[in-house]
Structure formats: C-alpha cells, structure tokens
Structure 1
Amino acid sequence: MSEQQFTRSDLTRILLEGAGAEEGVDLNGDILDADFEELGYESLALLETGGRIEREYGISLDDTALTDVHTPRQLIELVNGQLLAAA
C-alpha cells in the first residue's frame, strides 16, 4: 500500500492557487519555519488553504488546528498526520 504524502511543493502550489503570494515573498526559498503572517498569509487565507487541501486529499482538518499552525512545516505535519490516520 503506498502512503500519500503532503509535501512542501504541494503546499506551495495550493497557497499560490488560493491566495497568491505577496510581492517580495519567495515561496521557493527557505520558508518552512517562517511564520505564515511573515509570508503574507493570515487566518482567512489559511482556512481557504485548508479547504483546498481537504478537497484535494479527501481528509478533514479541524479549523482550530488550522489556526494553531504558524509555519509551513507545522501545516505539512498536520496534513501528513491526517493522511496517515486516514490510511
């Protein structure tokens, strides 16, 4: 059985599709531990991102958990935890 993984590339793609990127922010740079607000993404953008992830990956993400993540690394870990639980 192959295990589906949510990667940094997946997150970057979904962020760009849903909310775009602020001028001067390079999502291909070293962003894993940067705060989402520093990257220009506030809570509404993260909720939209969460909704896109849920639809694409067939998982459910708790809104509270989404608002508790502050970095791309934390969001990737949250999604991968849900994917593992759903497997």
Structure 2
Amino acid sequence: METRLFTLDDLRRILTEGAGADETVDLDGDILDLGFGDLGYESLALLETGSRIEREYGITLDDDELTDGATPRRLIDAVNARLSVPADAA
C-alpha cells in the first residue's frame, strides 16, 4: 500500500488556492516555523485550509491543530501522522 505524504509544497498550494497569498509574505521562503498569523492567515482562512486538506486527503484534523500557535511544520506533521494510519484503524 502506497503512503501519501503531505508536503510544504502541498500546504503552499492549498493556502494559495483557499485564501490567497498576502503579498507581503514570501510563501516560498523559510516559513515552516512561522505562525500562520505571521503569514497573514487568520482563523477563517485556516478553517478553509483545514477543510480543503480534509477533503483532499480524506482525514480529519482537530481544531487545535489549526489554532493555538499552529505553524506550517506542526500542521504538516499532524496531516502526515493521520496519513500514516491505515483507514480501517482510524
């Protein structure tokens, strides 16, 4: 069985498609440990991002993974943790 990984490029694509990109933030830069607020993404944009990830990857995220100091690195890790669990075990 193939394991699909969620990458920073996947996150960048979903952020841009769902909420656009703040012109003052370089999403191509080193953003892994920046807070989403620092990247110009507030709660509604993060909810949309979470919904898109859930639909595209067939997983469910906890709300706190999109809030409480969330960073791209933490969100990517949370998505990949769910992707590594077989669907029948979740």
Aligned match of 1:30: 30
Structure 1 gap ranges (5+): none
Question: Is residue 36–residue 70 contact of structure 1 (8 Å, CA) maintained in 2?
Answer: yes
The CA distance in 1 between the partners of 2:30 and 2:13, in whole Å, is 15
The aligned residue for residue 19 of structure 1 is: 19
Q: TM-score, normalised by structure 1?
A: 0.91
CA positional deviation for 1:9: 0.4
Query: Are the aligned partners of 1:3 and 1:84 in contact in 2 as well (CA < 8 Å)?
Result: yes
What CA distance in whole angstroms lies between the structure 2 residues aligned with 1:14 and 1:55? 11
1:51 maps to 51
Q: Distance in 1 between matches of 2:78 and 2:69?
A: 8
Code of the residue aligned with 1:85 in structure 2: it is: V
- TM value normalised by structure 2: 0.88
Q: Is the 8 A contact 1:59 1:86 kept in 2?
A: no
- Find the aligned partners of 1:23 and 1:86 in 2 and give their Cα distance: 39
Equivalences for residues 62-73 of structure 1 within 5 A: 62-73=62-73
Q: Aligned-pair RMSD on alpha carbons?
A: 1.3
Aligned residue in 1 for 2:80: 80
Identical amino acids, percent of aligned pairs: 67
Provide, for residues 19-52 of structure 1, a one-character-per-residue CA deviation record: whole Å limited to 9, x for no partner.
Answer: 0111121101110011111100111111110000
More helix by share: 1
In structure 2, stretches of 5+ residues that fail to align are none
